[in-house]
Amino acid sequence: MTDAVFRETTAEPRTQAVPLAHLSLELGHFYMEDLEAGPEHLRRHFERVRPWAEAARAFATAQAGGKRPRISTCFLIDDYFTRFSSPAELVPLLLAEADRAGVTVDYLARESGCADAGKVPVAEAVAGRLVEEPPPGSYGIRPPAAQTGWLANGERSPVARTPQAMKKATAWQPPRETAARRHSVFLDVELWSDAPDGHRTWSCPFLAAVWQLARLGLLRHQGDPVLVPHPHTASGFPEDWDELPPLIRLNPRADPFAAYRTCSVLPNRFLPVEHAVRVILDQTEVDPEALRQVAERSAREAVAVPDSVADRISYVFYAGS
């Protein structure tokens, strides 16, 4: 006789899939000082972005084997570190300059949404998935990133200590990148800083890593997608940044926000930040069910997707501010 086993459906959380485009094309990542610089600064940015965005579209079309690729565009505004003016004033200005340059922005996101999206502590959840790669020969002397707020892509230089009597001081040793090719490019990334009152400020590289995971459709909270686009149906935009949804769909005919791959067209001042993003993603345990869903769908569509999450990301860096 077989014993029946009963389980509550809530005991087995379901991971919800998200629609996927072939490419998520980021048209910019602006801080408030960029917006404060005025319409001429915005205009120059979009004029520089347009040819590179067209090249990215052409490359995605070639990869799709002649079929129409699903491509969505997005733009990220920093309202986390500083705030300037209001969405009612700035968003229409930004969209007008993009339109003047012949560029369409499908989705607009607030960087604060990469820290907390509504009631979901997004950054904190991603930080809980950090899995540091111990450098070869290390003995666990270095405190974990969860304690220090720093994450490296290799072994740091040992801390110089005062030698004991009759003993020589430890000789200086250089830092070493774990996956170095001949020579090391060592990077130590600050993930957050804590104020004396306990308030935590997430770093720009860490929020940018969260942003990439969102664009790749790999963020989940209790099985539900995070940073789900809200349709923009109102005639205008709110006066307060907190009243603007973390992610809004400006183009009702846009392809899905999340995609198999991402490409970001950015000023070259973002290069060190995005190097740090790769270090973070290489040591983040991404939701396995979300990864499985992407793998199964890409296989059905015969779309090649790298196993490494960091390798699903590409960039175009242009000179100038």
pLDDT in tens, the chain (321 residues): 445 544 444 455 688 999 999 999 999 998 878 878 888 999 999 999 999 999 999 989 888 777 889 999 999 999 999 888 899 999 999 999 999 999 999 999 999 999 999 889 999 999 999 998 766 655 556 778 888 899 999 888 876 555 565 566 667 788 888 888 889 999 999 999 999 998 999 999 999 999 999 999 999 999 999 999 999 987 889 999 999 999 999 999 999 999 999 999 999 999 999 999 999 999 999 999 999 999 999 999 999 999 999 999 999 999 876
Number of domains in the chain: 1
- Structural domain contains residue 119: yes
Give the pLDDT confidence score for residue 12 in this predicted structure: 54
Structural domain harbouring 280: 17-128+196-318
- Structural domain contains residue 159: no
Q: State the Cα–Cα distance between residues 201 and 33, nearest whole angstrom.
A: 19
- Structural domain contains residue 175: no
Torsions phi, psi for 175 (to 5 deg): -70, 160
Give the pLDDT confidence score for residue 138 in this predicted structure: 59
- Structural domain contains residue 176: no
Q: Report yes or no on whether pTM surpasses 0.95.
A: no
- Is residue 71 within 8 Å of residue 25, measured between CB atoms? yes
Give the pLDDT confidence score for residue 169 in this predicted structure: 64
- Structural domain contains residue 124: yes
Q: State the Cα–Cα distance between residues 227 and 250, nearest whole angstrom.
A: 15
- Using a CB cutoff of 8 Å and minimum separation of 24, what contacts does 296-299 make? 297/17, 297/20, 298/260
- Structural domain contains residue 221: yes
- Structural domain contains residue 60: yes
- Structural domain contains residue 33: yes
